[in-house]
Structure 1
Amino acid sequence: MANPNQEIKFTKLFIKNEFVDAVSKKTFPVSNPANEKLVANVAEGDKADVDLAVVAARNAFCRGSVWRNTDPTARGTLLNKLAALVERDSDIIANLIVLENGKTFANAKVEISRFAQILKFYAGFVDKYYGKTIPVDGPIFTYTRKEAIGVVGAILPWNFPVIMLAYKLAPAIAAGCTIIVKAAEQTPLSALYIAALSKEVGFPDGVINVINGFGPTVGHAIVSHLDIRKVAFTGSTDVGRLIMKTAADSNIKKVSLELGGKSPLVIFEDVDIDEAAMVAHNAIFMNHGQVCFAASRHYVHEKIYDEFVKRSAALASMRKVGDPFDADTDQGPQIDEESMKKILHFVDLGKEQGAKLETGGKRIGTEGYFMEPTVFSNVTDDMSIATHEIFGPVQCIIKFKTVDEVIESANRTNYGLMAGVMTKNIDTALTFANAVEAGTVWVNCYSAGAVAAPFGGYKESGIGRELGEEGLSLYLETKTVAIKLPYKN
């Protein structure tokens, strides 16, 4: 049940299965983006706290520890139990997400369901990864082993605080790693609550640790720490570059990066326009436009362009923006003032550079960070709104004529996270799907993700793939063992 007065139980750091103050005793505020009011003051970690968490995680992973001697089946059982407790407390966690993030309560519930689904998937994978025997010349028996990489760091974004936690936590635990999580400074409350549940489940001390704080302090300490062997990050491309450089300058730790996007959705003239307009609407306005893989460039065939624009503007104007705890609300606030100012800046650039503002484009009210759903037509590939990641509820509609033209336009970006195409012609769909530079291509749908399907991007949209079997491989090393035999066959 939605409850804007949800009690805040956990505000400290979580190290070695205990909630503790930061070494510095500092705290920082978490505010509600719907009304800008204080939700809670939480402990502010720093390098000293990361060092303590690493010691706990390293001891939990050391040879002979309880965790290293936990059978794969038992690891799966712990993941399943954690999923069950998250489902049990789904209303509590959803309320925390709404308070710290501003997404609607209904969407927060969906996010929690997804968290549980991911944990259950990897709980079933704990005994399904293994090495191989390799035929080699001579009297040598050669085989490979899959081994947990060790202590890993996870740096999370604020837009999907619980789902992104699952993306990192579930495969890391399934592989047998220990983990230190840095939740986004805007959204630590849901991660801390789940950390408390992990203790209730019975995870050994030090396996899961959560350090609240900021990127330049906690994030940097995680990425630069010599005893952390791998870092998983979801966030902006600019920060991803910093993480790669810092990881290289420390111990050349492995990194996986899920970064920005400017994903195209291409709509051909043979579609049902009402259906296409609704798919496109949801593809950009979901989660208030705060989605890395949002379809933020809509390419529409010239034969249906004007009608598509008309229907898209109508859908956007009907979208209800307001209290995220209200069951009738479609769109809550943006995350913070900085994000709001960035979106409004791009709206101004769109108008200045010649795009036509069909609807929206303004902030709503003076309390909270509410933004009108915005639609631009007459957008061209060279405009700032078509080249930069806005990360807000701004639909950009671009006209095209031919398949070859739109493929070239779709690929004219440094990003390559997702793409979509809508057409009744299978040849057109496959031509586009095979040619577009993107980690995932959706045909006649958008955001049809699956836990078993790899998720990640081309080019500056990242390195590595999360989810599915490939997601587990991010947390494993491959060791080759060669044994000389006393005879030849």
Structure 2
Amino acid sequence: MSSSQADTARQTLIDEALAYVPRQLFINGAWRDAAGGKTFDVLNPATGEVLAQVADAAPEDGIAALTAASEAQDEWAAAAPRKRSELIRAAFDRVVELKDVFATLMTLEMGKPLTEAYGEVTYGAEFLRWFSEEAVRINGRYTPSPEGNLRILTLKRPVGPALFITPWNFPLAMATRKIAPALAAGCTTILKPAHLTPLTSLAFVKVCEEVGIPAGVVNVIPASQARPLTGPIIQDRRLRKLSFTGSTPVGMALMKECADNVVRTSMELGGSAPFIVFEDADLDKAVEAAHATKLRNMGEACNAANRFYVHSSIADEFSQRLATRFKELTVGDGMEEETDIGPIVSDEQRDSIAEMVDKARSEGAEVLTGGEKSDGAGFFYPPTVVTNLKATAELVTDEIFGPVAPIVPFETEDEVVGYCNDSMFGLAGYLHTGSIDRALRLAERLEVGMLGINSGTISNAAAPFGGVKHSGVGREGGFEGIEEYLEVMYLGFEDPFASEK
């Protein structure tokens, strides 16, 4: 294919994707403008140019969405599990059918390379398939009480209307990971997508409409400011569930709000994942895994490797090899075929990354590669490797959310466990070793919710995703994911055999 043909094909993808996505709110089965008619701009981080203008939901729109969800709740909860299952499965099929549209939208509004965006389509769609299958497997139990005087019967019921506040880094997967289990459990939903990346969420809700999910069951309310919109919804007694993915400070504030109304919460918050390499690790695999888990999504992932602890006997070699690997990568527009690393999502986020690296450099750290903001249009920052750091350096302890790998050497298991656990975060970790005994030993000592062993990939729709400490509450995905949207009811029956005893 010639360069002109490639340009034409790329522009066709862009035109078709933007033509598919609505720009309005979706409330009670209808697309409509925001109250007051306001809109906000969605930018392409690779160019800084405006991609689209989207309806900017007002507080009254949020309450309208909650009213729609509340009024649809009883009928949706009463729907046969198989019906819910088939509708969710139909959404899976439609998303897969529209993979070009969804991948292109994510690359345009978030920046990730198109190949990674296609990977997210597969990953995000899988939550729909997984929970379509879980919808028909919601079970209770029947058992005699220990004393024998009662029969204990439990059943599970949907929690009720749920509000989802999703981040910008995985626009499709964060929506499906929340909406799919809620629908499977029989809950109605309201989605407030990140203002930086609303187009993918709007396209997904259009899919829900197309496959026939009833009015009021899925609603979407993009907005430039979250707090004025979500605050009144959280304070309304009709809301029964909030699921939030984002920063720890915002999550903590939302939990306080929810406490006043006793709203059940799921929180997937900040992460500072340690990546540990012992002297007996396969160094080739460790370097490739470090590359994968650090630079996936340009490092803008809560479960990305954030701090690298490498045994002192191999720390220099690991650092040099990782830096060499990073230097080989091409930074550019995610829509370009040769691009390995796309732009950072916003100029503000890029500045935050640059400031952390600059501070480390001023304190004596050595930058082996990268470390400088790119000139010109777009919000680019190169893959960066930093060494000669103290374990207490801000670049090591704070969440970077960018393509920067700070490396700290260690000597013993106890030392590295201390480094890892001396953090308020506990989402994910990565461990590379040739010893299964060591892997099991550290798995029981590390304070994380997920641990990748000799791997740089852990996310899967069939696995429970979530953390401990300030990294969150609850789990998404796996058999556990649907439980977040179910309440257990207990029925106590008198012993039916009492008269025969």
Q: TM-score range by the shorter chain?
A: over 0.9
**How far apart, CA to CA, are the structure 1 residues paired with 2:233 and 2:196?**
18
Is 1:73 the counterpart of 2:82? The answer is yes
Match for 1:74: what amino acid? K
Pick the aligned partner of 2:54 from 35, 42, 52.
Answer: 42
Residues 307-456 of structure 1: pairs in structure 2 closer than 5 A: 307-456=317-466
What do residues 397-445 of structure 1 show as CA deviations (whole Å, max 9, x unaligned)?
A: 1100111111111111110001111111112211111110000111111
Aligned match of 1:11? 23
Which of 42, 46, 54 aligns to 1:30? It is: 42
> Does residue 479 of structure 1 match 2:489?
yes
| C-alpha distance in 2 between matches for 1:218 and 1:37 | 26
8 A Cα contact 1:277 1:311, kept in partner: yes
Q: Distance in 2 between matches of 1:326 and 1:270?
A: 39
Amino acid in structure 1 at the alignment position of 2:29: N
- In the alignment, is the contact (CA less than 8 A) between 1:46 and 1:221 conserved in 2? no
TM-score, with normalisation over the residues of structure 2? Answer: 0.94
- Structure 1 residues 349 and 223: CA distance shift in structure 2, 3 A: farther
Partner of 1:117: 126
Contact 1:415–1:461 (CA under 8 A) maintained in structure 2: yes
TM-score where L is the length of structure 1: 0.97
Q: Which amino acid aligns with 2:233?
A: I
Alpha-carbon distance in structure 1 between the residues aligned to 2:448 and 2:78: 40
1:281-337 superposed Cα distances (whole Å, 9 cap, x missing partner): 211111101010111111111111111111111111111100101122111100001
In structure 2, what is the equivalent of residue 282 of structure 1? Answer: 292
Q: Partner of 1:242 in structure 2?
A: 253
- What residue number does 1:59 align with? 71
Distance 1:253 1:477 in 2: 13
User: 1 CA distance for matches of 2:53 and 2:127?
Assistant: 30
Q: Which runs of 4+ in 1 moved over 6 A?
A: none
Q: Residues 487 and 184 of structure 1: is their aligned pair in 2 closer, same or farther, counting only changes over 3 Å?
A: same
Q: Aligned-pair distance for 1:25?
A: 1.0
Return the alpha-carbon distance in structure 1 between the equivalents of residues 234 and 409 of structure 2: 43
Mapped pair 1:466 → 2:453: no
State how far apart, in whole Å, the 1-side matches of 2:137 and 2:496 are. 32
User: Runs of 5+ in structure 2 lacking a partner?
Assistant: 1-8
Superposition RMSD in Å: 1.4
* Per-residue deviation, 1:126: 1.1
Q: Which moved more, 1:424-433 or 1:71-80?
A: 424-433
Identity over the aligned pairs, expressed in percent? Answer: 38
Contact 1:181/1:211 (CA < 8 Å) preserved in 2? yes
Q: Tell me the residue number matched to 1:200.
A: 210
In the alignment, residue 93 of structure 2 is paired with which amino acid?
A: A
Would you tell me which structure has more helix in proportion to its own residues?
A: 2
SS state of the match for residue 320, structure 1?
coil
**Deviation of the 1:201 alpha carbon:** 0.4
Secondary structure in structure 1 of the residue aligned to 2:475: coil
Matched, 1:92 2:101: yes
Task: Give how far 1:139 is off.
Answer: 4.7
User: Structure 1: which amino acid aligns with 2:376?
Assistant: T
Pairing 1:155–2:162 present: no
Describe the shift of the 1:46–1:311 C-alpha distance in structure 2 as closer, same or farther (beyond 3 A): same
Give the Å deviation of 1:276: 1.3
C-alpha separation in 2, matches of 1:34 and 1:347: 22
Residue 145 of structure 1 deviates from its aligned partner by 0.9
Task: Report SS of the residue matched to 2:388.
Answer: strand
Is structure 2 residue 244 aligned with structure 1 residue 262? Answer: no
Paired amino acid for 2:22: F
| Secondary structure of 1:395's aligned partner | strand
1 CA distance for matches of 2:175 and 2:142? 35
Structure 1 partner of 2:191: 181
Q: What are the ranges of 5 or more consecutive residues in structure 1 without an aligned counterpart?
A: none
Contact 2:108–2:335 (8 Å) recurs in 1 = no
**CA–CA distance in structure 2, aligned partners of residues 68 and 424 of structure 1:** 49
AA aligned to 2:452 is: W
Q: Partners of 1:487 and 1:274 in 2: how far apart? A: 67
CA shift, 1:141, in A, is 3.3
Q: Is the 8 A contact 1:283 1:294 kept in 2?
A: yes
Conservation of the 8 A alpha-carbon contact between 1:139 and 1:487: no
Do the aligned residues in 1 keep the contact of 2:142 with 2:153 (CA within 8 Å)?
yes
Q: Return the alpha-carbon distance in structure 1 between the equivalents of residues 391 and 99 of structure 2.
A: 42
**In the alignment, what sits opposite 1:82?**
91
